[in-house]
Chains A and B, each alone.
Chain A
Amino acid sequence: MADTAVHDTVDEHIDHSGASSTGLSNNKLAMWLFLGSECLLFGGLISTYMLYRGRHSANAGPDQFWDIPFTSASSFVLLTSSLTMVLAVTAAKRKDDRNTSLWLIVTAILGSLFVAGQVYEFTTFYREGLGFTTSLFSSSFYTLTGFHGAHVSIGVIMLLASVGMILKNRIPGDKAEVVELIGLYWHFVDIVWILIFTLVYLIPA
């Protein structure tokens, strides 16, 4: 009897959700800390681009290459993926696995579409004469947008992996929190694109 009481007390203090003494999830704290550090990475890449965007030859600058309607369509795709991601998070909080998986898959498709658009854009620029080493402008542009594209690609992998794990019921602990953490990463990728779209594409050098 006494043993059972002791075990109950011990169990009360073991938190399977990864919560810390602050009452907050350590996983979520770590994700926010990671996103804060990512601000420094993209801050460095964006400011490097801003410094070098005027360093190109007369006929190989942004005005000769940018396709604003195409990039705008890509932006709408990524913005819509943020909506589908947040719908996945709300479905996960309702413990609705079917809709969670559905919205995660839609988000992954939209993310893939964005990456495909970026690959098409890079290929077009390269064929038109804008290589990685053409100028400081092109190097900083490809590095910035390439890093962002890599982040989106990693996000797509995370989304598809989470769908697989949800379907096989292999997510340990709080499933909703796992989806929320992936959502935070995904929205971060979206806010970085919001900055890139305006600073790189819309504001001329």
Chain B
Amino acid sequence: MSTDTAPAAAEAHDHWSDLSYVKLTLALALITAIEVAISYIGDDLGALFVPLLLGLMLIKFFSVVLFFMHLKSDNRLFSLMFYLGLGLAVAVFTAMMLTFRFYSS
């Protein structure tokens, strides 16, 4: 954890131009449009419907986290702070939902 990491991270941010952010936003808008289209043809996709939507959702989620929030190029301690909270939330609430499903059946 050297003191050099912060300036290095700041330099890494600068590799992304404004145009790159515009391109990423357009890509995310396109993914959103695909998601909406999928929701209308859900019956035709069968078992693929939910995994496809979840996959696209995760792509959008991590694109914003990694690039807009700069977690990809920023210090790893920030990633640790965020992913610990995220991981804990996913684990706790997955367990909770499975418990409810188990006891209700």
Q: Which residues of A contact B (CB under 8 A)?
A: 19, 22-25, 28-29, 32-33, 35-40, 42-44, 46-47, 50-51, 68-69, 72, 75-76, 79-80, 82-83, 85-87, 90, 93, 183-184, 187-188, 190-191, 194-195, 197-199, 201-204
CB atoms of A195 and B89 under 8 A apart: no
Q: Which residues of B contact A (CB under 8 A)?
A: 1-6, 10, 13-14, 16, 18, 21-22, 25, 28-29, 32-33, 35-36, 38-40, 42, 50, 53-54, 56-57, 60-61, 64-65, 68-69, 75, 77-78, 81-86, 88-90, 92-93, 96-97, 100
CB atoms of B77 and A29 under 8 A apart: yes
Residues of B within 8 A of A29 (CB): 77-78, 81
In the complex, what distance in Å separates the CA atom of A75 from the CA atom of B29? 9
In the complex, what distance in Å separates the CA atom of A79 from the CA atom of B83? 22
Given A24-B6, A36-B82, A43-B92, residue A195 in contact with residue B61 (CB < 8 A): yes
Q: Which of A23, A42, A51 contacts B4 (CB 8 A)?
A: A23
- Majority DSSP secondary structure for residues of A touching B: helix
In the complex, what distance in Å separates the CA atom of A155 from the CA atom of B104? 39
Residues of B within 8 A of A44 (CB): 89, 93
CB atoms of A198 and B77 under 8 A apart: no
Most buried by A among B4, B13, B85: B85
In the complex, what distance in Å separates the CA atom of A69 from the CA atom of B78? 36
Nearest chain-A residue to B94 (Cβ)? A47
CB atoms of B4 and A43 under 8 A apart: no
| Interface Cβ pair total, 8 Å cutoff | 131
Residues of B within 8 A of A32 (CB): 78, 81-82
Residues of A within 8 A of B68 (CB): 82, 85-86, 183, 187, 190
Nearest chain-A residue to B10 (Cβ)? A93
Residues of A within 8 A of B97 (CB): 47, 50-51
In the complex, what distance in Å separates the CA atom of A50 from the CA atom of B60? 20
Given A32-B81, A79-B29, A195-B61, residue A22 in contact with residue B93 (CB < 8 A): no
In the complex, what distance in Å separates the CA atom of A47 from the CA atom of B40? 24
**Can you identify 16 A-B contacts, CB atoms within 8 angstroms?**
A23-B4, A24-B75, A29-B81, A32-B81, A36-B86, A37-B85, A39-B89, A43-B89, A79-B28, A80-B29, A83-B22, A93-B13, A187-B64, A191-B61, A202-B38, A204-B42
Q: Which of B2, B50, B96 contacts A23 (CB 8 A)?
A: B2
Given A43-B90, A75-B32, residue A202 in contact with residue B39 (CB < 8 A): yes
CB atoms of B77 and A82 under 8 A apart: no
Most buried by A among B28, B38, B42, B89: B89
Given contacts A46-B93, A80-B29, A197-B57, 10 further A-B contacts (CB under 8 A): A36-B83, A43-B90, A51-B97, A68-B36, A87-B18, A190-B68, A191-B64, A195-B57, A198-B53, A202-B53
In the complex, what distance in Å separates the CA atom of A19 from the CA atom of B82? 19
